[in-house]
Structure formats: structure tokens, C-alpha cells
């Protein structure tokens, strides 16, 4: 068996090994990596910095992969020298590893310009997982961070630091951002978008020195200007890591010279990835490296034939809400180049195509990168654009959803990161019976790197897979592509205080009827009133505190705690019903009375005449506590359920919840008020209470789970509150307690509430009290409306004669 | 109240009477309209959802789209056309402008774009 030694455990090296394995080679493979980690997705480091992904989530090849494929991984070991005469790779421990063939995949290193002070403390580069971890450890809310370099990596680093709460400035030597990929208008639009995120952009600034005594505290520019800095990240570019090749006497210019077969000047040594220089070009983006890997895999396994002919440069910025794509040439002044352009300043969209000899020569997209794949394909295949001339900037509308898939040729590269084309995917779907995106990722690696082709993969699955299953959606909606958990972290971490702010920074600015009410709830819950309430983001019921009916009128349900009322209250209800011609008065299933068919404009007066608080029957909030008469009158009652129920309602009323919360308290296990099918229930027994949660008697019927058994009413009420607040903080919006309890499991919920430490319990209850302290009866808006036309219909200032 | 004989434009209300991203109903010359404040401009459509008559003025606004509060039908506020509806549908739109802080609507110039059934 031949010894194959791979120097470098990064994306290019390992991807190449994966390709080699496909040829079932007769190799014993050893991979050396000077980082101590298994192969991870370097492209996603900015997502790790931003807190959107954990380091574990960006692992591409787990330890199992190395083991299963019989690969020896020497991690944290650096090759110091190659003895080409004796065919030995000599590592930092002095050990010698013999090789038959050797692949150099040493990647690149961060380029640090010779700036005085670059060695100071808190000056970092952003290149590896360890760099990222250090940055995460150092960054904290309120810190002033300066990123030197306004290229792709610098901007992503800036956004990551900002999402960790830092005040970030980006300084760049040139007068436009990403000037190598963008023209001036695109760069200008990008600057605006970055500034809109709240990042300061300083252009053009030549950094002269990093200031500070040992630890950096400022940045000085050539103009003499100085700015403060607690943390500096240098992202001025990368350079091929070619010293090992140079020391070993291989031909090296900027990078290790390779030919179209990825062979170096030594017939047994090959190179792949960012360390290479091919036809005068060096590389910094992943797609061409995958291409190189395929070619080298063929060459090294004795199937020399496929060639790598270079790749048009392509770059895509991965900052949510700032879509940038650039590929091919940027310079429009070349002779014979035509420009096709579209611009919508208010939408922040800019598209520019350079066309030469009826072939795509370059493309810049800002604000809308949905067609990037089409352009990449055109560039790579030098497609004749004549038949597409009318649809260069916008694809022709597709009436059937499978059309896009049907139009794709089999060789169409769906996943640029991993080089997977349409045929590969269709083939895999049939061969392995794939029906989900997860299986597809697993089998083909398509969409497993940057994930930007997942939509396309889903379309392919939908069109091809016999039993396609949509993934259960974890993101809120298309406006805001994050999970609830991520959003809670974002809102908390970024101190975002209004729905519009969240949408502007993280979403599509517009929002919709799904995300707006969800965000409204989240802000209310997290900030306990210290947020800007936005009525326009709430459903009509929450704008006017009544339940809209099919004819546009509203229903009014006053709070009747524990279902207990009085003759005086009943008289007032009767009077109101008559005075406002209420078409229907109905006793509800919640032991309350519903006045149906009230006009919006009558609401404030109806509430005033009732003189009772809102029953929140219109909202995702605390509905009622249904009770039985318990020990007070019932001859079987063993607990005072009426009093306990009224107390529970007092404690929780006026609060908002992820979905409605219905409660019940019963004085004996006969369960007359049906506490065991309520979201929260208390079931009285002789000398104790059972607190039960997650019951339902609606669309689904579910018997509540026992949370805990306690002896006193006070303890039972506390247990109800603990669960209530835990549900408020951790459920997804519109998730009822019965789904919540099933999703988390009652054991986990017990651990997090009644069985958690006293300190944790205290914290939960303190947050509940904080929210409760500012929660008010919404019907008081009858006296202080949120806006002058909250309830009244507008009367025109004049009438027309038509 | 003034009676306007000359202009086709009807003075409705001060801009401040409609909060940003909300709508309000108003009846002008027998027509029930819903006026929306889109921040940088105001737009007017007929208030009745063609599906089951829901009050569109009470819907959540998403960009330049309003979502009917009853069953979630969506209408483009610029064209009046239903967006992603199960059946082709539309509502009337009315020219709307602001002058001296007052919203004006041209009720006589109602525009109705019939959804192209062949497309749907």
C-alpha cells in the first residue's frame, strides 16, 4: 500500500481526500493539521462569531469520519520540513513520516500589514477557529471594536462583533468597500447598508499605528486623526501559506506553482487550495478549490486526465440583510464591454452585468442575489446570451414551481461549495430513496456548507423525490430567517426595543402577520414594558382589546375571577346589553359572560359602563381560572378552590403569553371545573394540591401532566407561577402549553421549574413580578387611548357632491 | 362640515389621525374606504375584503400589502390585487395625496385592475 501524506487539515485538503476516497485508492492516508480541530467549515467562522452557529455546528468531518475511512489524523502537529530525496515529511516533534505521494494543502494565512503596534494585546486576526474563540472571549457589550479592512472578511467580522454587542468601526484603505469585487455605486450602496446596521464606516483611512501601552487603546490614521479602540481586528487579506514548499525547494511564486493537473515541480508532490498559484492566479474562495480537489483526486489515483483551467473569481457576503454577490470582471471600461444595469435606490437594489461578445463577463448584485447561480453558470459555461437577452436582469416568470428545476441542465452546479450538480442529486435521490433535505445533505453534502442552495435543493427534492417531506420549520417566517431561540438571544443581546428595529436590522423591514405579533410578544416578555410598543405590529384584537367577529363587530368578555359574580355586576351587564343593543349575550365555557356584536366605536363606553376589567378573551394571554365551589359550599370539597382560583387569577391576569392560557382549580378529585384539561390546573386533595400542566380540551384533547404535589395553597400557587413564567420565556409564539410540554417533556420542565435551585426559582418569579408590575387592565385605554382614532371611525372633513 | 363642489379631491383628515403602518375606515360619498399610512405616503383601497367582507382597515400591514384580519387574504395596496390568494380577486384603489398635512382622496377616480384569470 502506498503512503499518502496530506499536509493541511483544512477544507481544500480534506475535500480532496474525500474525492480520492471515491476512487477506492490503494493508499494509506495520513493527514497533518497544525490546528487541533477536525476539519471545519472556515466559511462559517463569521456565523460562529455572530453567535448564529456553534463551533460544533460547523464541523465538516467528525472524528468518526477519519476513523471510518482509516485515515490517520495528526492534529496539532506541524510539518516543518520535507526531505524530498528520502521522501520524508518531518514534523515538529522531529518524527519522520515516509510518503509515496504528498499533497500540500497548507492554505493561507492572514496578511498583517507592517503597522507599528500590531503586536499589542487585543489586536487579533480572524482566520481560524481559535482566532474566533479568542474574539468571542474578548468581545462584550459596549466594547469599542475597530476592524481594519473593508473586504468580505472584515465586514463579516465587523457584523459578528456587533452582534456580540460591540460598537464597531470598519476602517478601509480605499474609498469604497470591497473595491476588488464591486464598482463604485455598488460599494456606496454597501456602505449605506452597513451603516444602516449601526456599524461606523471610515473611508479612506490609512492606518498608521495602533496606540496603547501594551494593550491597544486606539488607532491612528495617516491624516493624524485618532479613534478609540478596545479591540482591533486586522482583516487586510490573506496570503498563500507557501513557506514549507519554498523551504523544500519547490517552485513557488506568490503561491505554490501548480499546473492544470495540480502537479508541482516535484512529480510526487501535489498542491491544492489556497496555498496554490495556478496560471498566475491565487485563490481565496471555496468553489474553485473543490474543483481543484476533484482534478487532483483523478491525477493522484492514476486517472490523470481532467484538468483545472482556473475559475472566475466569485464572492458572496454572508451578512443577513446585506446581500452582495460579485463574480467575474468588475472593470467596465475594457473595450467591447457592454453594461446592463438596474437600480432601485429605495429598495436598495443594484444589478450590473458586464457583457462581452454576447457572453457574461462579470456581474455585481446588491440587495437581491437570488439569481447568483444563474450568472455563475453563465460565466462558467460561457453561455451564449442571445436567447436570454430579454431576461438578463430578471428571469422570466415561472408559472410552475418545477419549471426552474426542469430548465436546469444535468450538469448545473447546485452546490458550489461542495461541487454537487443536478445529476448527482437526482441520482442520489433515487439510489438512496432520499426524501428530506437532511438525508440529501448527508448523502451528497449538497447544501451542507454555506447552505445558500438549500432552497434549490428543496425544489429538486420536491420535483424528484417520490415522498418529499418538508422539514419542520424552525424559523419564524420568511421575513425573519431565525428560530425563536435565536431571536430571543438577538433581541436580548442587541437590546432591540421595537418590532420595526428587529425587522430593519435582521429582517426584510416589512414583516408580516406572522412575525409582527410574535415579535410584539417577545419584546413585551423580555423587556417587561421597557420597550416601544407598536400597535401596528399587533393583530386588530390587541389594538382594540376585543375579539373581532365575522361581520367586523367585536365581542366583549369582562373578567369574572374564578367565575364568581354578583347581582350588581349582573345588573350592569344586563343594562349594557340593552343600552348598546347587544345582539347576543352568552354564557361561555369559561364561566364568564360574552357580549357579542359590539361596534368598535362603542367599545370604550361599553367598558366604562360595565366597570369591570378586561377578561383578555381576545388575546394570547391569561384567559380565566375556572373553579368549583370547593369547601365553601360543596359537601365533598376538601380544598378552598374558589378562593385559590381567584387568587391565581389575580396573580397572573393582564399578562401576555405565547398562546392563550386557560386555568382551572378544583376542590376535590371529582374535577367539576375540569382542571385536568386546562393549561394549568390545581386539583385539591385531602391535605394537598396536585398541580397539573399541559392539559387541553380543544382541537386536541390531552390530560394534563402532574407537575408536583404540594401541601399548602401558597406552594401550589408558586408552582403554577413557576410553570407559567417558564412557558412565557421558552415556548414558541402560538405554541400551546400542551405542545410545549410534549416538546420539552414534563421531566425537563420539572427540572427547570419546581425542581430547580432556589436561586433559579427566585429569578423566574422575579421576572414574572417585573412583568406583572407593569401589566395593566387594557380596558383602561377607554380613558387614555393609544391614539386618537383607536376606536373611532374617521369622519371626512368635507363631503363631496358626486 | 364643508361641501365641496369644485375639486374631485375630498379632504379626509389630518395625517396624524392614522398611525404609521395602520389603516382607518372612512365613508366618503357612500363608499367605505380604508386609508393606510405607509410611512412615506398614504394609500386608499375599498374597505371590504371580497372574500367575506372583512374590514381591511383593521389588517396588519406588511410593506405595501394588507392582510385581512378575518381569514388572512392579502392585497397589494398599490394595485388592489390579491396576493397569493386561492382565487383571483381585487379591491378598488383610490388616488390619495397629502396637502398641508391633510389626506385627500379622489373618490371619483376609483381604479380596479381585474385579475387576469388566465394567469391564476
B32/A contact by beta carbon, under 8 A: no
A787/B contact by beta carbon, under 8 A: yes
Contact A233, A148 (CB under 8 A): yes
CA dist., res. A117 & res. A402, Å (int)? 57
* Predicted local confidence at residue A470, as pLDDT: 65
When scoring B34, B38, B60 by the number of chain A Cβ atoms within 10 A, the one with the most, hence best to mutate, is B60
| Closest CA of chain B from A792, distance in Å | 9
- pLDDT at residue A493 tops 80: no
CA dist., res. A204 & res. A186, Å (int)? 16
Please name the member of A516, A800, A801 whose beta carbon is closest to the beta carbon of B60.
A516
Q: Which helix (H) or strand (E) holds A247?
A: helix A243-247
Mean pLDDT value across residues A371-400 = 83
Cα dist from A408 to A167, A361, A449, A459, B106, whole Å: 45, 21, 22, 12, 49
Residues of A in contact with B54 (CB under 8 A): 552
- pLDDT at residue A462 tops 90: no
Q: Which helix (H) or strand (E) holds B31?
A: strand B31-37
Contact A362, A327 (CB under 8 A): yes
Three-state secondary structure string covering A405-422: HHHCCCCCEEECCCCEEH
* Predicted local confidence at residue A200, as pLDDT: 94
CA dist., res. A288 & res. A291, Å (int)? 5
Closest of A626, A759, A638 to residue A697, by C-alpha: A626
Residue A540, helix vs strand vs coil: helix
Residue A451: which pLDDT band, with cuts at 50, 70 and 90? low
Inter-chain touch B2–A789, beta carbons under 8 Å: no
Inter-chain touch B11–A796, beta carbons under 8 Å: yes
What are the backbone angles phi and psi of residue A337, rounded to the nearest 5°? -95, 125
**By CA distance, what is A515's nearest residue in B?**
B62
Share of chain A above pLDDT 70, in %: 97
Domains of chain B by start residue, with CATH: 11-112 (2.102.10.10)
Inter-chain touch B10–A795, beta carbons under 8 Å: no
When scoring B10, B20, B21 by the number of chain A Cβ atoms within 10 A, the one with the most, hence best to mutate, is B21
When scoring B2, B40, B58 by the number of chain A Cβ atoms within 10 A, the one with the most, hence best to mutate, is B58
User: Of A41-50, A542-551, A691-700, B105-114, where does the model show the most confidence?
Assistant: A542-551
pLDDT of A780-791, one tens digit each?
A: 999 999 998 999
User: Of A37-41, A288-292, B64-68, where does the model show the most confidence?
Assistant: B64-68
pLDDT of A231-276, one tens digit each?
A: 999 999 889 999 999 999 999 999 999 999 999 999 999 999 999 9
- pLDDT at residue A473 tops 70: no
B15/A contact by beta carbon, under 8 A: no
CA dist., res. A390 & res. A375, Å (int)? 15
Residue B118: which pLDDT band, with cuts at 50, 70 and 90? very low
Q: Which residues of A331-365 are buried (b: 16+ CB within 10 A; e: fewer)?
A: ebeeeeeeeeeeeeeeebbbbbbbbeeebbbbbbb
When scoring B11, B17, B22, B74 by the number of chain A Cβ atoms within 10 A, the one with the most, hence best to mutate, is B22
* Predicted local confidence at residue A715, as pLDDT: 96
CA dist., res. B96 & res. B106, Å (int)? 6
Mean pLDDT value across residues B6-19 = 89
Range scoring the smallest mean pLDDT among A388-397, A586-595, B76-85: A388-397
- pLDDT at residue A486 tops 60: yes
Residues of B in contact with A538 (CB under 8 A): 60
Residue A286, helix vs strand vs coil: helix
Share of chain A above pLDDT 90, in %: 67
| Closest CA of chain A from B80, distance in Å | 18
Residues of A in contact with B36 (CB under 8 A): none
Please name the member of B18, B62, B108 whose beta carbon is closest to the beta carbon of A511.
B62
Residue A161: which pLDDT band, with cuts at 50, 70 and 90? very high
Mean pLDDT value across residues A100-108 = 96
* Predicted local confidence at residue A465, as pLDDT: 83
Mean pLDDT value across residues B74-91 = 85
- pLDDT at residue A724 tops 90: yes
When scoring B1, B10, B53, B62 by the number of chain A Cβ atoms within 10 A, the one with the most, hence best to mutate, is B62
Closest of A677, A684, A583 to residue A631, by C-alpha: A684
DSSP string over A351-401? EEEEEETTEEEEEEEES--TTHHHHHHHHHHT---GGGGGGSSSPPPPSST
Query: In which order are the strands placed within the sheet that holds A337-344?
Result: A314-319, A322-328, A359-366, A349-356, A337-344
Residues of chain A numbered 516-555 and touching chain B (CB < 8 Å)? 516-517, 534-540, 543, 548, 550-552
Mean pLDDT value across residues A601-618 = 96
Residue A43: which pLDDT band, with cuts at 50, 70 and 90? confident
| Closest CA of chain B from A694, distance in Å | 28
CA dist., res. A438 & res. A625, Å (int)? 44
Residue B119: which pLDDT band, with cuts at 50, 70 and 90? very low
Please name the member of B26, B55, B108 whose beta carbon is closest to the beta carbon of A796.
B26
CA dist., res. A17 & res. A289, Å (int)? 12
Residue A15: which pLDDT band, with cuts at 50, 70 and 90? very high
pLDDT of A631-664, one tens digit each?
A: 989 999 999 999 999 999 999 999 999 999 999 9
**By CA distance, what is B53's nearest residue in A?**
A551
Mean pLDDT value across residues A323-347 = 89
pLDDT of A88-103, one tens digit each?
A: 999 988 999 999 999 9
CA dist., res. A463 & res. A62, Å (int)? 32
* Predicted local confidence at residue A802, as pLDDT: 46
Please name the member of B4, B62, B119 whose beta carbon is closest to the beta carbon of A512.
B62
Cα dist from A363 to A179, A341, A776, whole Å: 14, 10, 56
**By CA distance, what is B72's nearest residue in A?**
A513
CA dist., res. B80 & res. A437, Å (int)? 37
Residues of B in contact with A503 (CB under 8 A): none
pLDDT of A510-551, one tens digit each?
A: 899 889 999 999 999 999 878 889 999 999 999 999 999 999
Inter-chain touch B13–A796, beta carbons under 8 Å: yes
A69/B contact by beta carbon, under 8 A: no
Answer with the residue of higher pLDDT: A780 or A25: A780
A400/B contact by beta carbon, under 8 A: no
Range scoring the smallest mean pLDDT among A155-159, A184-188, B7-11: B7-11
CA dist., res. A208 & res. A227, Å (int)? 12
Please name the member of A399, A513, A787 whose beta carbon is closest to the beta carbon of B67.
A513
Mean pLDDT value across residues A407-421 = 83
Mean pLDDT value across residues A102-118 = 93
DSSP string over A559-598? --GGG---HHHHHHHHHHHHHTT-SEEEE-TTSSEEEEEE
Dihedral sign from CA coordinates of A759, A760, A763, A764: negative
Contact A603, A782 (CB under 8 A): yes
| Residue in the structure block whose three cell numbers are 484538468 | A307
B69/A contact by beta carbon, under 8 A: yes
When scoring A478, A790, A794, A801 by the number of chain B Cβ atoms within 10 A, the one with the most, hence best to mutate, is A794
Dihedral sign from CA coordinates of A76, A82, A88, A92: negative
Please name the member of B13, B18, B60 whose beta carbon is closest to the beta carbon of A797.
B13
Residues of A in contact with B5 (CB under 8 A): 801
Q: Evaluate if pTM is beyond 0.80.
A: no
* Predicted local confidence at residue A496, as pLDDT: 87
Residues of B in contact with A479 (CB under 8 A): 62
Share of chain B above pLDDT 70, in %: 87
DSSP state of B55: B
Q: Give residues with Cβ within 8 angstroms of A770, minimum separation 6.
A: A528
B75/A contact by beta carbon, under 8 A: no
Please name the member of B12, B53, B61 whose beta carbon is closest to the beta carbon of A796.
B12
Please name the member of A509, A548, A797 whose beta carbon is closest to the beta carbon of B11.
A797
Reported in sequence order, the residue ranges of A600-693 that DSSP labels E, i.e. its strands, are 622-627, 661-666, 680-685, 688-693
Cα dist from B42 to A113, A630, B27, B48, B95, whole Å: 53, 58, 16, 18, 9
Please name the member of B11, B60, B61 whose beta carbon is closest to the beta carbon of A798.
B11
Amino acid at each position: 500500500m502506498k503512503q499518502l501524506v496530506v499536509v493541511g487539515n483544512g477544507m481544500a485538503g480534506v475535500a480532496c481526500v474525500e474525492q480520492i476516497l471515491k476512487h477506492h485508492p490503494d493508499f494509506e492516508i495520513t493527514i497533518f493539521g497544525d490546528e487541533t480541530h477536525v476539519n471545519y467549515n472556515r466559511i462559517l467562522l463569521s456565523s460562529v462569531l455572530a453567535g448564529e452557529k456553534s463551533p460544533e455546528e460547523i464541523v465538516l468531518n467528525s472524528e468518526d469520519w477519519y476513523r471510518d475511512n482509516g485515515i490517520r489524523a495528526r492534529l496539532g502537529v506541524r510539518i516543518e520540513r520535507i526531505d524530498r530525496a528520502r521522501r520524508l515529511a518531518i514534523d515538529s516533534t522531529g518524527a519522520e513520516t515516509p510518503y509515496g505521494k504528498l499533497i500540500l494543502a497548507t492554505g493561507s494565512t492572514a496578511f498583517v500589514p507592517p503597522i507599528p503596534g500590531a503586536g499589542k494585546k487585543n489586536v487579533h486576526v480572524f482566520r481560524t477557529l481559535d482566532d474566533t474563540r479568542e474574539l468571542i472571549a474578548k468581545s462584550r457589550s459596549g466594547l469599542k471594536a475597530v476592524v481594519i479592512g473593508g473586504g468580505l472578511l472584515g465586514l463579516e467580522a465587523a457584523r459578528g462583533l456587533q452582534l456580540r454587542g460591540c460598537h464597531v468601526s470598519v476602517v478601509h484603505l480605499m474609498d469604497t468597500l470591497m473595491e476588488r469585487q464591486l464598482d463604485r455605486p455598488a460599494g456606496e450602496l454597501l456602505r449605506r447598508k452597513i451603516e444602516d446596521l449601526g456599524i461606523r464606516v471610515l473611508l479612506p483611512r490609512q492606518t498608521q499605528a495602533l496606540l496603547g501601552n501594551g494593550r491597544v487603546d486606539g488607532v491612528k490614521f495617516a491624516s493624524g486623526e485618532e479613534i478609540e479602540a478596545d479591540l482591533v481586528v486586522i482583516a487586510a487579506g490573506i496570503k498563500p501559506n507557501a513557506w514549507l514548499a519554498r523551504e523544500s525547494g519547490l517552485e513557488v511564486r506568490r503561491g505554490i506553482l501548480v499546473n492544470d493537473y495540480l502537479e508541482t515541480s516535484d512529480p510526487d508532490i501535489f498542491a491544492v487550495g489556497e496555498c496554490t498559484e495556478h496560471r498566475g492566479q491565487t485563490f481565496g474562495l471555496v468553489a474553485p478549490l473543490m474543483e481543484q480537489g476533484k482534478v487532483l483526486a483523478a491525477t493522484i489515483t492514476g486517472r490523470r486526465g481532467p484538468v483545472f483551467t482556473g475559475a472566475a473569481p466569485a464572492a458572496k457576503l454572508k451578512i443577513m440583510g446585506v446581500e452582495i454577490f460579485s463574480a467575474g470582471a468588475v472593470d467596465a471600461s475594457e473595450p467591447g464591454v457592454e453594461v446592463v444595469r438596474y437600480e432601485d435606490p429605495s429598495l436598495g437594489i443594484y444589478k450590473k452585468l458586464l457583457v462581452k461578445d454576447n457572453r457574461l463577463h462579470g456581474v455585481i448584485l446588491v440587495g437581491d442575489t437570488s439569481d447568483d447561480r444563474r450568472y455563475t453558470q453563465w460565466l462558467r459555461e460561457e453561455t451564449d446570451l442571445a436567447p436570454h437577452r430579454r431576461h438578463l436582469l430578471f428571469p422570466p416568470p415561472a408559472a410552475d414551481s418545477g419549471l426552474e428545476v426542469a430548465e436546469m441542465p444535468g450538469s448545473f452546479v447546485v452546490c458550489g461549495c461542495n461541487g454537487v450538480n443536478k445529476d448527482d442529486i437526482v441520482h442520489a435521490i433515487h439510489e438512496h430513496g432520499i426524501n428530506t433535505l437532511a438525508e440529501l445533505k448527508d448523502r451528497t453534502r449538497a447544501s451542507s456548507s454555506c447552505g445558500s442552495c438549500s432552497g434549490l435543493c428543496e425544489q429538486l427534492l420536491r420535483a424528484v423525490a417520490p415522498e418529499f417531506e418538508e422539514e419542520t420549520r424552525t424559523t419564524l417566517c420568511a421575513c425573519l430567517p431565525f428560530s425563536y431561540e435565536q431571536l430571543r438571544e438577538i433581541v436580548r443581546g442587541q437590546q432591540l426595543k421595537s418590532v420595526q428595529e428587529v425587522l430593519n436590522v435582521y429582517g426584510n423591514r416589512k414583516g408580516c402577520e406572522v412575525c409582527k405579533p410574535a415579535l410584539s410578544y417577545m419584546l413585551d416578555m423580555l423587556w417587561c414594558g421597557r420597550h416601544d410598543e407598536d400597535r401596528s405590529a399587533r393583530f386588530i384584537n390587541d389594538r382594540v382589546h376585543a375579539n373581532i367577529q365575522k361581520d367586523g363587530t367585536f365581542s366583549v368578555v369582562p373578567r369574572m375571577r374564578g367565575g364568581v359574580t354578583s347581582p350588581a355586576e349582573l345588573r350592569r351587564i344586563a343594562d349594557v346589553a340593552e343600552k348598546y343593543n347587544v345582539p347576543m349575550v352568552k354564557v361561555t365555557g369559561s364561566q364568564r359572560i360574552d357580549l357579542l356584536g359590539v361596534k368598535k366605536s362603542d367599545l370604550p363606553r361599553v367598558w366604562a359602563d360595565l366597570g369591570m376589567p378586561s377578561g383578555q378573551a381576545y388575546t394570547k394571554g391569561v384567559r380565566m381560572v375556572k373553579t368549583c365551589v370547593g369547601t365553601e359550599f360543596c359537601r365533598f370539597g376538601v380544598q378552598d378552590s374558589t378562593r385559590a382560583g381567584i387568587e391565581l387569577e389575580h396573580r397572573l391576569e393582564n399578562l401576555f403569553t405565547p398562546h392563550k392560557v386557560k386555568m382551572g382549580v378544583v376542590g376535590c378529585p371529582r374535577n367539576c371545573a375540569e382542571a385536568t384539561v386546562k393549561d394549568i390546573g390545581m386539583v385539591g386533595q385531602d391535605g394537598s394540591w396536585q398541580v397539573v400542566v399541559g392539559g387541553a380540551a380543544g382541537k386536541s384533547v390531552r390530560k394534563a401532566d402532574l407537575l408536583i404535589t404540594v401541601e399548602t395553597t401558597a406552594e401550589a400557587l408558586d408552582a403554577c407561577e413557576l410553570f407559567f413564567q417558564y412557558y412565557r420565556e421558552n415556548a414558541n409564539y402560538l405554541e400551546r402549553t400542551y405542545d410545549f410540554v410534549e416538546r420539552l417533556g414534563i421531566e425537563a420542565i420539572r427540572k427547570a421549574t419546581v425542581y430547580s435551585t432556589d436561586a433559579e426559582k427566585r429569578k423566574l418569579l422575579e421576572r414574572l413580578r417585573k412583568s406583572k408590575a407593569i401589566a395593566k387592565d387594557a380596558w383602561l385605554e377607554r380613558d387614555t387611548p393609544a391614539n386618537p382614532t383607536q376606536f373611532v371611525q374617521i369622519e371626512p372633513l368635507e363631503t363631496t357632491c358626486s | 362640515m364643508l361641501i365641496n363642489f369644485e375639486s374631485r379631491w375630498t379632504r379626509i383628515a389630518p395625517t396624524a389621525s392614522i398611525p404609521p403602518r395602520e389603516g382607518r375606515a372612512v365613508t366618503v360619498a357612500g363608499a367605505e374606504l380604508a386609508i393606510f399610512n405607509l410611512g412615506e405616503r398614504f394609500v386608499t383601497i375599498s374597505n371590504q375584503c371580497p372574500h367575506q367582507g372583512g374590514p381591511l382597515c383593521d389588517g396588519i400591514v406588511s410593506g405595501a400589502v394588507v392582510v385581512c384580519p378575518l381569514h388572512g387574504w392579502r392585497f397589494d395596496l398599490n394595485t388592489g390585487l390579491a396576493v397569493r390568494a386561492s382565487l383571483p380577486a381585487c379591491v378598488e384603489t383610490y388616488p390619495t395625496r397629502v396637502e398641508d398635512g391633510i389626506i385627500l382622496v379622489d373618490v371619483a377616480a376609483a381604479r380596479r385592475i381585474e385579475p387576469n384569470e388566465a394567469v391564476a
